[in-house]
Structure 1
């Protein structure tokens, strides 16, 4: 830690000659080099943090050890840390004179799935989830996010002669079940602590490290949960005529509901209905009396969302009616809205990141996955989320030449290359925060 502080002190001295008073005056080339030197000096600690978190992930609202680990890191840097905000979340505040409050968010939680990467730091941890023992894995990149979050905090403190205001670093639980942001807001995130003037988050993705994708406006899809119970009449598998088979009803629904997408929704508009889990029965020769389905509904626009909801309920009832079964129980729970990237925040940040990353800083279409980072914008905080790549370019090129596909987020084989991915995350987020301080200092 002492070596890291010394390196940041030297970096700050070097940067004292750089005054980011306007975007055009940012010496981004020099600034990027200085940030890179600071990251290099602290990378052994960031690498150890990343691999520790990767090897010992925790599920939504169970992230006790992960949160404690990050809290210790931030306290060591001099942040004032409050734990248990939104159950397992934490808020770290660092005040550096008068100025705006800029928020940086990371997620804490992992996924209930088995990692199959074969890495020497792969997770083999298990826990209880929904009443059963499951493996746990950071197969979405939240461990990359956490290491980048801590690295950004360290780097910004080394550059504190370059900004005035308050850093608000939050570590949010339960992003994977889109419940953590609401829990933190309900726990007083914007009443117990300063309401940010701007907020940033990043997300790792299956493209080349050093590349950043961004967009203004809609950045991700809305997400709703779907739970359906089909009721039937159980009996012997050799005498289906004496039963009402809920397995066949569920199968019919799973196929038929896709006609809502292909024949009712405007093909120019995004919408997805996916059934990810089906549970029913105990043995091959027993027809059960009920089957449960779980799924997800994704869309960008409210009118498409409403059409999907109506089509799902109508199709479920029709599938049951065709077999003379009772009406199913259909439950559609609102998850989270689309991420909306604030145009002013994006424009200011894009000026700086384009200068730093050149043609590797690219506009992308909206993502079809969902993110509860959207809740902060919904609470009135101008926000921006961007995406960073995590794979070697050679591996990306191999796919184009007929090689194996790149494992994406939520794949058991998802395996970011740590160092360049974290370096990109820290560099981009540090520059984004500095650009936000500069914009607010100029009253924009």
Structure 2
């Protein structure tokens, strides 16, 4: 793709930018949880129709897909996710969310409002620049990414029968990187993620009579400590994995030893063999600790919210990297591996393994990011996705995300010069 083609399409960015920022503030102030994205989906469908796309709604529940056919050529699918998180916002922004669902605060703490805004803006620009490209654009707005079943839901609901088979699937995520930057990475880029719920059983008793009990709180505590040795002592140092215990629940008052405890944990891996070894180790450790504690029942294990590995196609990613380098210059670089997880690659299953690539772009205020670097602090010290303080700056974040989608699509769709 030649840079002047993208520049021509992006020449209309100025008027789109103001509308995009207004939309972003509205979406941020009105977040919706997974499978509840009705307001967002309706707004997306309306704007896609205004751009002249053929629109399909209700795909996989609340998913929306727009199709713009512009002559013969490749088909490119661009994807954004729409759902928010059960997080209470602490940004202090004038458009901060005050939404609650059944008493639970809701916030766009992962940047999906950014993703929706950028894809709608990119679609508007591409729809207005059809003289510069040929082929078919598919703009897909996915529900329920945060619970790992939104992409599969759209696939199971017949996505492949609604749209032409894509030649490539493309997606992006705003990250706690310097705003204005973009990064690609070939091969495994985002980790596979598995969540597990473990229930261990004891024998309840009065807090003053521990000899009459089998204490599941102590049992669960020992399990948590031992689980930390899996990555530290059972995997080779060059094999990357993360195991996090995010929740322990047991009992309801101080002087009653309960009869059970629940542990929820999450693992992130880049290799199926590593994943299998970790799951086997969890089962072994939990079983051994239960036996050592004289548990009266076998523990129970439940896997839920499985995210697939995001394994970017090398050739596709090279094409993207070249296009981004031509457009963004030194603001484009290597993303590296992130232990976060996504269900984007599940969409490829609808099309028998179409090649895909998923990249990141920055949302952290450049001055704040640069100051942290000067002070010797790491980027991890800055608010990250899922934080109640996560607040991507509007400029240049929205502009960068919009440009990245347009440049990426045109890497396949741009007309050859005559």
TM over 0.5: yes
Q: Does 2:328 align with 1:389?
A: no
Deviation, 1:143, is 0.7
Q: Does 2:182 align with 1:209?
A: no
Contact in 1 for aligned 2:87/2:388 (Cα 8 Å): yes
More displaced 10-residue stretch of structure 1: 35-44 or 222-231 = 35-44
> Helix, strand or coil: the match of 2:190?
coil
Q: Does 2:78 align with 1:78?
A: no
Q: Does 2:141 align with 1:168?
A: no
> Helix, strand or coil: the match of 1:213?
strand
Unpaired segments ≥5 residues, structure 1: 1-22
Q: Matched residues in 1 for 2:338 and 2:70: separation?
A: 35
TM-score (norm 2): 0.95
Q: Does 2:318 align with 1:331?
A: no
Within the candidate set 51, 64, 67, 2:38 is matched to 64
> Helix, strand or coil: the match of 1:191?
helix
Deviation, 1:31, is 4.6
Deviation, 1:213, is 1.0
Q: Does 2:401 align with 1:428?
A: no
Q: Matched residues in 2 for 1:102 and 1:44: separation?
A: 26
After superposition, the C-alpha distances for 1:49-85 in whole angstroms (9 at most, x for unaligned) are 1111111111111111111111111111111111111
Q: Matched residues in 1 for 2:187 and 2:238: separation?
A: 18
Contact in 1 for aligned 2:86/2:106 (Cα 8 Å): yes
Q: Does 2:98 align with 1:124?
A: yes
Q: 1:139–1:403: structure 2 CA closer, same or farther, 3 Å change rule?
A: farther
Contact in 2 for aligned 1:349/1:436 (Cα 8 Å): no
Q: Matched residues in 2 for 1:122 and 1:381: separation?
A: 38
> Helix, strand or coil: the match of 1:387?
strand
Within the candidate set 358, 369, 392, 2:340 is matched to 369
Q: Matched residues in 1 for 2:110 and 2:282: separation?
A: 28
Q: 1:220–1:317: structure 2 CA closer, same or farther, 3 Å change rule?
A: same
After superposition, the C-alpha distances for 1:356-402 in whole angstroms (9 at most, x for unaligned) are 11121101322111110121334412111110001222101221243
The corresponding residue for 1:11 is none
The corresponding residue for 1:7 is none
Q: Does 2:375 align with 1:402?
A: yes
Contact in 2 for aligned 1:35/1:427 (Cα 8 Å): no
Deviation, 1:438, is 4.2
Deviation, 1:115, is 0.9
Q: Matched residues in 1 for 2:269 and 2:376: separation?
A: 32
Deviation, 1:116, is 0.5
> Helix, strand or coil: the match of 1:219?
strand
> Helix, strand or coil: the match of 1:436?
helix
Q: Matched residues in 1 for 2:263 and 2:49: separation?
A: 44
Give aligned pairs, total: 411
Q: Matched residues in 2 for 1:294 and 1:210: separation?
A: 37
Within the candidate set 74, 79, 89, 1:100 is matched to 74
Within the candidate set 149, 162, 169, 1:179 is matched to 149
Contact in 2 for aligned 1:336/1:374 (Cα 8 Å): no
Q: 1:136–1:289: structure 2 CA closer, same or farther, 3 Å change rule?
A: same
Contact in 2 for aligned 1:340/1:377 (Cα 8 Å): no
After superposition, the C-alpha distances for 1:216-240 in whole angstroms (9 at most, x for unaligned) are 1111101112110111111212222
In the TM superposition, 1:282-293 aligns within 5 A as 282-293=252-263
More displaced 10-residue stretch of structure 1: 391-400 or 175-184 = 391-400
Contact in 1 for aligned 2:33/2:84 (Cα 8 Å): yes
After superposition, the C-alpha distances for 1:393-422 in whole angstroms (9 at most, x for unaligned) are 210122124388210111110110013101
> Helix, strand or coil: the match of 1:293?
strand
> Helix, strand or coil: the match of 1:78?
coil
Q: Matched residues in 1 for 2:183 and 2:214: separation?
A: 51
Q: Matched residues in 2 for 1:383 and 1:364: separation?
A: 16
After superposition, the C-alpha distances for 1:277-335 in whole angstroms (9 at most, x for unaligned) are 22221111121111112121110011101100000111111121111002210123471
After superposition, the C-alpha distances for 1:229-283 in whole angstroms (9 at most, x for unaligned) are 1111112122222111111111111111111111111121111111112222111
Q: Matched residues in 1 for 2:10 and 2:246: separation?
A: 42
Q: Matched residues in 2 for 1:302 and 1:272: separation?
A: 14
The corresponding residue for 2:277 is 307
Q: Does 2:317 align with 1:341?
A: no
Contact in 2 for aligned 1:376/1:383 (Cα 8 Å): no
Deviation, 1:33, is 4.7
Deviation, 1:36, is 4.7
Within the candidate set 176, 189, 193, 1:223 is matched to 193
> Helix, strand or coil: the match of 2:183?
strand
Contact in 1 for aligned 2:335/2:360 (Cα 8 Å): no
